[in-house]
Amino acid sequence: MPASALMNVMVAAARKAGRSLARDYGEVAQLQVSIKGPANFVSKADLKAEEIIFQELSKARPGYSFLMEEGGTVAGDDKTHRWIVDPLDGTTNFLHSIPLFCISIGLEREGQLVAGVIYNPISDELYTAEKGKGAFLNDHRLRVAARTALSDCVIATGIPHRGRDNHPRFLREAELILKEVAGMRRTGAAALDLAWTAAGRFDGYWEYGIKPWDIAAGIVILREAGGFVSDTNGGNDMLERGTIVAGNDKIRKLLLAQIEAARSGKP
Ligand code: IPD
Ligand code: CA
């Protein structure tokens, strides 16, 4: 399928910011050994990438609003469209020279997520989707995994780190889910967790404490790959609540049941 004008705009912005991130990533390894470390450098790389995306998208679609990880909200004249942008998802990985990070650009039209692009400039993997048009990894159509038993599944999650609340809740849920699954993974980039679930690499994914820019693009990509997504109460308020459960519908429901069991204290 030829890419739409909208996809061309989003992909061009992601690739341009990706080139900038990839250049800076090359420098990060050198800075690991310096006493100050690469932290300041990384936050500059992040801001640079966001500025590139902001400029590219503003030029191509003047007036659209923005919600960005670094710059926050920028209200445009067009109130029906909003870009939701994470210029560097997987910041801790980037900082530690772990090549698992990405750019995530989602588009909302009248409050509905309608398009998403996730790009890892190191692996050169580009995930794209537009509502009703399917999801793609580079040129290949994506489909979520068909497994229906947790015992066969590799499940991704986000582990709350220092500064995040509710470690006991995570440990309760992880304990129940670990007993059921073939494997658990933590990539450190929520957008990639969703993209990899869309690609069938992961069978499911759940996390708390995430922001709209972590998941907006990934939700479109996952749905267009035939996947299902909800918040941890089973509702549709992922962006508002900052929680997510994803997979094919069977696996999403099985994960939700484990989350519910952890909540109620029932084994
Ligand atoms: C983080 C990553 C991580 C998730 C965190 C996010 P950042 O985003 O997506 O996987 O567990 O909740 O904050 O800080 O790397 O952009
Ligand atoms: Ca993020």
Domain spanning 5-141: CATH 3.30.70.790: no
Q: From the CB of 100, is ligand 1 less than 6 Å away?
A: no
Is there a contact between 82 and 57 (Cβ–Cβ < 8 Å)?
Answer: no
Q: From the CB of 89, is ligand 1 less than 6 Å away?
A: yes
The DSSP bridge pattern shows strands 183-185 and 154-157 to be parallel
Confidence class for position 148, pLDDT limits 50, 70, 90: very high
Q: What is the pLDDT of residue 174?
A: 96
Confidence class for position 1, pLDDT limits 50, 70, 90: low
Q: From the CB of 90, is ligand 1 less than 6 Å away?
A: yes
Distance (Å) from CA 207 to ligand 2 centroid: 12
Cα–Cα distance for residue pair 36/220, rounded to 1 Å? 39
- Per the prediction, the chain carries an average pLDDT of 95
Cα–Cα distance for residue pair 182/213, rounded to 1 Å? 29
Taking the model in full, what pTM does it have? Answer: 0.96
Q: What is the DSSP letter of 64?
A: E
Ligand 1 atom index nearest CA of 94 = 15
Confidence class for position 163, pLDDT limits 50, 70, 90: confident
Q: What is the pLDDT of residue 33?
A: 67
Each residue of 18-76: pLDDT tens digit?
A: 999 999 998 887 777 677 677 888 888 999 999 999 999 999 999 999 999 999 999 99
Q: What is the pLDDT of residue 266?
A: 64
Ligand 1 atom index nearest CA of 164 = 12
The domain limits of the chain are: 5-141, 150-264
Q: What is the DSSP letter of 125?
A: E
CATH architecture for the domain at 150-264:
3-Layer(aba) Sandwich (3.40)
CA dihedral 260, 202, 219, 98 (to 10 degrees): 110
Q: How confident is the model over 102-118, as a mean pLDDT?
A: 98
Q: How confident is the model over 78-87, as a mean pLDDT?
A: 96
Q: From the CB of 129, is ligand 1 less than 6 Å away?
A: no
Distance (Å) from CA 253 to ligand 1 centroid: 24
Q: What is the pLDDT of residue 77?
A: 95
Residue 267 has pLDDT above 80, yes or no: no
Q: What is the pLDDT of residue 120?
A: 98
Cα–Cα distance for residue pair 60/6, rounded to 1 Å? 9
Each residue of 170-198: pLDDT tens digit?
A: 999 999 999 999 999 999 999 999 999 99
